[in-house]
Structure 1
Amino acid sequence: MDNFETAVQWSKDIISGNTLANIEQKQAAQRFLDDLESDKWDFKHHQFDFVIGLIEGTIVHVQGENKEGKSFKDTPMYLQPWQKFVCVNLFGFFEKGTNIRRFNEALIFLPRKQGKTAFAASLTWAKNIVDRASGSKTYIVANSLKQTQESFGFLTYNVEKIRNDVKKMRIRDNNQEHSVHVDFGDGYCDIFAIANQDDKLDSLNGNALILDEIHSWKKAGAKKYILMKNSQKAYRNKLLMGISTAGDIANGFLAQRVTTLKKVLSGTIKDKAYDSYFIFLCTAEQDEKGNIINPVTREITTIDDPEVLASVTPSLDVTVTLDDLITEARQALLEPQLKAEFLNKSLNIFTNSMDAYFDIDEFRFSNKQHSWTMEELSKLPITWYGVSRAI
């Protein structure tokens, strides 16, 4: 089965229920199939076939084990169907009559241990080669230098292997700079790995930005995000991609962005501004009160429900097993201090540090049952508790 057929079949399996998935994955799959039928975009195979072929033919794993416990190190990085789906979308759709790719923003929102760091790094490398004639420049931005070095180490391990096949290569990996420069003769690419520090973001000027683990951004992160978007204005074939899990900042930048993008996928928001935004969200479904919903029965369930766990884990049985996920879920149920982390990282649900004392979803649900006006509220009797003091 070729790459395009794999993406189409994955979409059909997700929509039909043959493959368990949360509602947003189904909506993303339907969006893809609808776009293929639309005459709004040109659809071309050459770039995504090149990207997938490059990754699978030249990139190897640097660590990890398969479900049998055998080492992944130095084995080819074969892309899973969901990863090919992402590549086909990002590199398949073009603005009508041009060579300008449709998608210039993306959010890949996944639970932990789905291979997202290696995938994002590989996608970065492949995109740079595709766009080398324009002088491609990519920044990988992470919250910490340690996280940045994980992506950078993966890249340099793989890029180093082609040193004899390129005109010039320079790798800098020291306390001052983490960068790769490759001159192919017919173009060049630069990749920089930097920590998420304001003084390092002001001077960015590149056609691709990969934002790793942006769940810790607070509301002020919106200003930073716009700053990064502005740094790409000199390029047409640009990409600003966030790749992250959920976190415990329930009103932060990423949480609010996910809420908006869910509305885009569901059709609640219909605006051309999001035509260029690729959306892939793997997160457990919840009702208005925050209860976990089984994706098949649509009934309230618990966090150790196998169908819930499978529905949000696109790399199931490749990078993580269902048995391990169920074990972690049971421990989280029996030991409350583990629950928030499990919700964040395995079910990809945002939580709030107040959850132990105050259920914000219960409050929001209750509030929707009433439609008080300010005038009506001002007339309600108020009982004050505490020490009375004359004014």
Structure 2
Amino acid sequence: MAGYPNVNAANKYARDVVGGRIPACKWVRFACKRHLDDLVKSKKRTGKWRFDKDEAEKVCRFAQLMPHAKGKWAAKAELIVLEPWQKFILCSIFGWLSKKTGQRRFREVYCEVPRKNGKSVLAAVIGLYMWCADGEFGAEVYCGATTEKQAMEVFRPAKQMLTRTKKLVKAIGAEIMARNLSIPRDESRFEPVIGDPGDGSSPSCAVVDEYHEHPTPALYETMMTGMGARDQPLMFAITTAGFNLAGPCYIHRSQVCDMLNAAAGIGDQHNEEQFGIIYTIDDDDDWESPTALRKANPNFGVSVSEEYLLRAQANARRYPSRQNAFKTKHLNIWVSAAHAWLNMSDWAACGDTSLNIEDFYGKPCWMGVDLASKSDITAVALVFRDKVESPEGSGKYKDRWTVFCRSYLPEGAVERASHNQKAYEGWVHDGALLTTDGDETDFDVVRDDIHDLAELFDVKELVYDKWRATQLAHQLLKDGANAVEFGGGYHIMNMPMREVEAALLSGRFRHDGDPVLTWMAGNIVTREHKGCLVPMKADEGKTNMRKIDGMIAILMAMSRALLADAPQEDTVSEHLEKHGIRTL
């Protein structure tokens, strides 16, 4: 094979990204730096991996023999021309081999790319290559998704590419059916799969498209477990960002981030057989800037036009209801709901993992208790208030809020969870989610914990939801707690919600980075009633995947804290306006 133009372009791309000549977020920089570092390591006798230029070049040349399947390029019958970033991904996946076995290094691949950047074309090419050009006898390639329409987004362009490449069809003896591509001589097949495929398959390659839409990891895990009989299978997940921070895709993404951090010398969770790349912007980037568009979209000016992105960005700036959709689909920023209440970047900025609840022993606080049904999450929150100088100075001081939350779930509910089980299990393991024995929440455990907390802190009031906590409140009253029933109309919840918004923006809000509370904060969407915010779950009345109990407990406690120093003659709105909180 004379020359390696694609490999050279891929390596140049990696050098340009690391050198800052191509704008890229840290995850892309880390992926490129890992590749360059491994090239150096591969020259040493102790290195486990080697980079095979022939294998890397082969897959790129195969890709560029395929015709475009849609758009203006398909209309002109043009062949695919890989961009440098696509060459980097393909060369990385197929070029790295084990020195010991000669088999491919990477078995799991995670690519997160914004919309309109040609990710389905890349997935279709990989599926076709693994089906007919990888040398796997009886190859089984599946493109899986949650719906038939989504599964066909990869299968359809693959089928169209094959149909328009007559020489390839003849050479391999392919048979092309509506929902199946096959090679009769060795029974290789390529077909779409919808939902949970069940056991029995032996995939050599599985393409999981738009993984963020999967409510459970069932399809992914079934495909992975079915690959045991294959020598060098490939699990290829390609997706945009999404909204569910407790879903399998975000959990998988977090593992990829840990791996990339470790490869860059930050942390130790380095999975050497996993490849990941995430095109997005960095935390300190301005999402409203034109630079952000180029940074997050690797096919900027190619398959996605500058004009299109600038128009979408302008609409998101003009209409707040469109911001989260724009951020997830065009900047690959994960948010927790399509119309979320809080900006999760602001929430993250107010997280402080060095906060220690023991440092608050003896200090005054307000406690909120949100009791769920016996098989759901119960939350107990502590809200502390102190004064900090306002940003404008001049000796003015404003309230600063520090919150901690305990979340409880019965063990049986963790085992039965249909959507959030993996997240629950991880949080239980890390101590972020507390469990009680059995299939129902043991409220005696909650009561005992509340009693213990009351001994450690100066609890001014214990605020409870009148709809569920009446019995517990009566018990706590007998214990000597100053229990206060929460209620009084929609405007009561508006008060703390407006204050949380303002406090987050000005840095007057602190939490300890509790992942369960962060998930819940992102799950709140709002509707307005007579100018007042009303909190709701993002999936209200639907799957009930998202929980908001911890944030409700915090808001209940804050509502009482806000009114604690109000003179008797003040009305609610007068008192709040004195504190700079917008009301009707």
Please report the TM-score for the alignment, with normalisation by the length of structure 1: 0.85
CA–CA distance in structure 2, aligned partners of residues 144 and 310 of structure 1: 31
Q: Find the partner of 1:239 among 231, 234, 252.
A: 234
Q: Is this contact kept in 2: 1:22–1:312, CA < 8 A?
A: yes
Is 1:48 matched with 2:48?
Answer: no
Q: Secondary structure at the match of 2:459?
A: coil
Residue number in structure 1 paired with 2:175: 170
Is 1:276 matched with 2:283?
Answer: no
Q: Find the partner of 2:81 among 65, 78, 81.
A: 78
What is the CA distance between 1:79 and its match in structure 2? 0.7
Alignment of 1:219-238 (within 5 A): 220-221=216-217, 223-238=218-233
Give the CA RMSD over aligned residues: 2.4
Q: Secondary structure at the match of 2:22?
A: coil
Is 1:14 matched with 2:11?
Answer: no
Q: Is this contact kept in 1: 2:258–2:269, CA < 8 A?
A: no
CA–CA distance in structure 2, aligned partners of residues 99 and 354 of structure 1: 46
Q: Is this contact kept in 2: 1:133–1:188, CA < 8 A?
A: no
Query: Which runs of 5 or more residues in structure 2 are unaligned?
Result: 42-46, 362-381, 383-452, 476-584
CA–CA distance in structure 1, aligned partners of residues 9 and 172 of structure 2: 35
Q: Is this contact kept in 2: 1:111–1:345, CA < 8 A?
A: yes
Q: Find the partner of 2:202 among 198, 205, 208.
A: 205
Query: Which runs of 5 or more residues in structure 1 are unaligned?
Result: 287-292, 295-300
CA–CA distance in structure 2, aligned partners of residues 116 and 338 of structure 1: 23
CA–CA distance in structure 2, aligned partners of residues 181 and 328 of structure 1: 41
Q: Give the direction of change, closer, same or farther, for the CA distance of 1:343–1:42 in structure 2 (3 Å limit).
A: same
Please list the CA deviations of residues 119-140 of structure 1 after superposition, one character each: whole Å capped at 9, or x if unmatched: 1101111122333342211111
- Structure whose CA Rg is larger: 2
Please list the CA deviations of residues 247-287 of structure 1 after superposition, one character each: whole Å capped at 9, or x if unmatched: 11122111122222112212234345x1010111101211x
Q: Secondary structure at the match of 2:71?
A: coil
Q: Find the partner of 2:282 among 275, 278, 285.
A: 285
Residue number in structure 2 paired with 1:194: 193
Q: Give the direction of change, closer, same or farther, for the CA distance of 1:139–1:164 in structure 2 (3 Å limit).
A: closer
What code does the residue aligned with 1:348 have?
N
Is 1:118 matched with 2:121?
Answer: yes
Q: Give the direction of change, closer, same or farther, for the CA distance of 1:62–1:360 in structure 2 (3 Å limit).
A: closer
What code does the residue aligned with 1:48 have?
A
Is 1:157 matched with 2:155?
Answer: no
Residue number in structure 2 paired with 1:298: none
Q: Find the partner of 1:64 among 71, 75, 82.
A: 71
Please list the CA deviations of residues 359-378 of structure 1 after superposition, one character each: whole Å capped at 9, or x if unmatched: 55544544516211399362
What code does the residue aligned with 1:343 have?
K
Q: Secondary structure at the match of 1:18?
A: coil
Is 1:381 matched with 2:459?
Answer: yes
Please report the TM-score for the alignment, with normalisation by the length of structure 2: 0.58
Q: Secondary structure at the match of 2:229?
A: coil
Q: Give the direction of change, closer, same or farther, for the CA distance of 1:188–1:81 in structure 2 (3 Å limit).
A: farther
CA–CA distance in structure 2, aligned partners of residues 12 and 164 of structure 1: 38
Q: Is this contact kept in 2: 1:62–1:73, CA < 8 A?
A: no
Residue number in structure 2 paired with 1:333: 317
What code does the residue aligned with 2:268 have?
K
CA–CA distance in structure 1, aligned partners of residues 136 and 251 of structure 2: 37
Residue number in structure 1 paired with 2:428: none
What code does the residue aligned with 2:161 have?
N
Q: Give the direction of change, closer, same or farther, for the CA distance of 1:333–1:236 in structure 2 (3 Å limit).
A: same
State the identity as a percent: 22
Q: Give the direction of change, closer, same or farther, for the CA distance of 1:22–1:76 in structure 2 (3 Å limit).
A: same
Q: Give the direction of change, closer, same or farther, for the CA distance of 1:211–1:381 in structure 2 (3 Å limit).
A: same
CA–CA distance in structure 2, aligned partners of residues 167 and 111 of structure 1: 34
Q: Give the direction of change, closer, same or farther, for the CA distance of 1:73–1:276 in structure 2 (3 Å limit).
A: farther
Q: Is this contact kept in 1: 2:15–2:32, CA < 8 A?
A: yes
Alignment of 1:320-359 (within 5 A): 320-353=304-337, 356-359=340-343
Q: Give the direction of change, closer, same or farther, for the CA distance of 1:14–1:241 in structure 2 (3 Å limit).
A: same
Please list the CA deviations of residues 319-346 of structure 1 after superposition, one character each: whole Å capped at 9, or x if unmatched: 0122321221110011112111101100
Please list the CA deviations of residues 147-206 of structure 1 after superposition, one character each: whole Å capped at 9, or x if unmatched: 222322212222223366235322221xxxx110025x6x563111121x22x2323211
Is 1:316 matched with 2:300?
Answer: yes
What is the CA distance between 1:246 and its match in structure 2? 0.6
Considering Cα pairs closer than 8 Å and 6+ residues apart, tell me whether 1 or 2 has the greater RCO: 1
What is the CA distance between 1:237 and its match in structure 2? 1.0
Q: Give the direction of change, closer, same or farther, for the CA distance of 1:247–1:189 in structure 2 (3 Å limit).
A: same
Q: Secondary structure at the match of 1:241?
A: strand
Residue number in structure 1 paired with 2:101: 98
Q: Give the direction of change, closer, same or farther, for the CA distance of 1:375–1:241 in structure 2 (3 Å limit).
A: same
Q: Is this contact kept in 2: 1:329–1:342, CA < 8 A?
A: yes
What code does the residue aligned with 1:190 have?
R
Q: Is this contact kept in 2: 1:63–1:73, CA < 8 A?
A: no
Q: Give the direction of change, closer, same or farther, for the CA distance of 1:72–1:238 in structure 2 (3 Å limit).
A: same
Alignment of 1:298-309 (within 5 A): 301=286, 303-309=287-293
Q: Find the partner of 2:131 among 113, 128, 131.
A: 128
CA–CA distance in structure 1, aligned partners of residues 298 and 19 of structure 2: 16
Q: Secondary structure at the match of 2:32?
A: helix
CA–CA distance in structure 1, aligned partners of residues 137 and 241 of structure 2: 35
Q: Give the direction of change, closer, same or farther, for the CA distance of 1:385–1:205 in structure 2 (3 Å limit).
A: same
CA–CA distance in structure 2, aligned partners of residues 19 and 363 of structure 1: 30
Please list the CA deviations of residues 16-51 of structure 1 after superposition, one character each: whole Å capped at 9, or x if unmatched: 111111111111110000111113212212222221
Q: Give the direction of change, closer, same or farther, for the CA distance of 1:90–1:242 in structure 2 (3 Å limit).
A: same
CA–CA distance in structure 2, aligned partners of residues 374 and 105 of structure 1: 44
